[in-house]
Amino acid sequence: QVRLLESGGGLVQAGESLRLSCVPSSIIFSIKSMGWYRQLPGKQREAVAIIHRNNSADYSESVKGRFSIFRGDTKNAVNLQMNSLKTEDTGVYFCHIRSWNQLGHEVDHWGRGIQVTVSS
């Protein structure tokens, strides 16, 4: 079972930046997309940023212009650069990779989540 290892979370003040990184414990083949989700206090998990196989990216409206998703130097790594952080960005952030298995079925891989706290 592949594990997604997240790092880079922590406590920052509003207006500051953080970079989240995600590296799989082993290579994942046939990746469809990689992304970051978050769960804000009292809310359901939501997509923040997704980078697709063709390198196009989608962002939630709440983070557009502030967050940037990009592939890392390590194979299958994905990073999330978060600038101009706001207190409402506080939550648990999850790395996600969707791939195809040998039968052509989609497989979802999730990280355990990493805390991001933005203080005012």
What 8-state DSSP symbol labels residue 53?
T
How high is the pLDDT of residue 1?
Answer: 83
pLDDT at residue 115 greater than cutoff 90: yes
Q: Which of 38, 27, 106, 111 is nearest to 74 (CA)?
A: 27
- Count of Cβ atoms closer than 10 Å to residue 41 Cβ: 8
Q: In terms of C-beta density within 10 A (0-12 exposed, 13-18 middle, 19 or more buried), how is residue 39 classed? A: middle
Q: Average pLDDT over the chain, rounded to whole?
A: 96
pLDDT of residue 73: 81
Q: What would the pLDDT profile of 61-102 be if each residue is shown by its tens digit?
A: 999 999 999 998 877 999 999 999 999 999 999 999 999 999
- 16-35 pLDDT, tens digit per residue, is 999 999 999 999 999 999 99
Do the Cβ atoms of 51 and 70 come closer than 8 Å?
Answer: yes
